[in-house]
Amino acid sequence: MATRRPPESESTERNAPSVETAFQAAPPEMVAEILDGELHLSPRPARPHANAASNLSILIGGPFKLGKGGPGGWVIIYEPELHLGPRPDKLAPDFAGWKRERLPLAVGGDDAPAHYDLAPDWVCEILSERTRLRDKGPKMRIYAREGVRHVWHIDPLARTLDIFRLHEGHWLLVHSFAGEERVRAEPFEAVELELATVWSE
């Protein structure tokens, strides 16, 4: 569902107070985002989505976050809240990753905010029928505007992985993989990824 921002907020660079209030009041069983000044509420992921996310967390997190079986050097967060741009846009990707030198204090202390306002180097969105248009439309435009270098789109029902790279402000579809292929997918090409494991139950 999307709540349209009121007309009086069109000329400002900040989200309307009513939209911010609704964002803060979103029920915990919903995922809340503000994109281009509009509030979007989505239900929590269905089982295929949650399963693929859990598997991907193990496959990517071990070698690239923890350095187990891979080079390490990344901070990878599941479902972070990102505040990007002057409004700000408030996004909740399925995964976001930063090169560790860009985000050395990923957790911070007790007074650290719950959100991240530094654009990640990599984002992964797991597509569903409820979120597909949003993930492919406004969120991609925001990620490009903020200089995110790599975006993955995973479709757990179609069993596909699309890899996008930012080039001169526009997205290039670098690779499309499907089924049970074994792939090296940038920016994590140092380790081979078995797609069959992403879909496995």
Question: Global pTM?
Answer: 0.90
Greater pLDDT, 150 or 2: 150
At 12 the pLDDT is: 56
At 6 the pLDDT is: 43
Measured at the alpha carbon of residue 31, what is the angle toward residues 29 and 122, in degrees to the nearest 5? 140
Mean pLDDT over residues 117-133, rounded? 95
Q: Are residues 28 and 115 in the same domain?
A: no
Mean pLDDT over residues 75-97, rounded? 96
Mean pLDDT over residues 124-132, rounded? 93
β strands within the chain, DSSP E: 2-3, 30-35, 38-43, 74-78, 82-84, 89-91, 95-99, 122-126, 150-155, 160-167, 170-178, 182-183, 193-194
User: Could you tell me whether strands 82-84 and 89-91 are parallel, antiparallel, or unpaired per DSSP bridges?
Assistant: antiparallel
At 163 the pLDDT is: 98
Strand order of the β-sheet with 30-35 is: 2-3, 38-43, 30-35, 89-91, 82-84
Confidence of residue 106 (pLDDT cuts 50, 70, 90): confident
Q: Are residues 62 and 153 in the same domain?
A: yes
What is the total count of domains within the chain? 2
At 112 the pLDDT is: 79
Burial class (CB in 10 A: 0-12, 13-18, 19+), 172: exposed
Q: Are residues 40 and 60 in the same domain?
A: no
β strands within 1-69, DSSP E: 2-3, 30-35, 38-43
Q: Are residues 76 and 105 in the same domain?
A: yes
**Nearest alpha carbon to residue 125 among 145, 143, 106, 103:** 143
User: Integer distance in angstroms from the first to the last C-alpha of the chain?
Assistant: 30
Q: Residue 49 pLDDT > 60, yes or no?
A: yes
3-state secondary structure of 152: strand
Confidence of residue 66 (pLDDT cuts 50, 70, 90): very high
Which domain range does residue 25 map to? 1-44
Q: Are residues 29 and 100 in the same domain?
A: no
Q: What is the CATH number of the domain that holds 57?
A: 3.90.1570.10
Q: How far apart are CA 133 and CA 131, in angstroms?
A: 6
Q: Residue 21 pLDDT > 90, yes or no?
A: yes
Mean pLDDT over residues 194-198, rounded? 97
At 113 the pLDDT is: 81
Greater pLDDT, 113 or 16: 16
Q: Are residues 82 and 25 in the same domain?
A: no
What is the average pLDDT score of the chain?
A: 91
At 1 the pLDDT is: 46
Q: Residue 2 pLDDT > 60, yes or no?
A: no
3-state secondary structure of 12: coil
Mean pLDDT over residues 155-171, rounded? 97
Cross-strand pairs, 165: 150, 172
The predicted-structure confidence for 138-148, as pLDDT tens digits, reads as follows 999 999 999 99
Structure tokens at 168: 């001169």
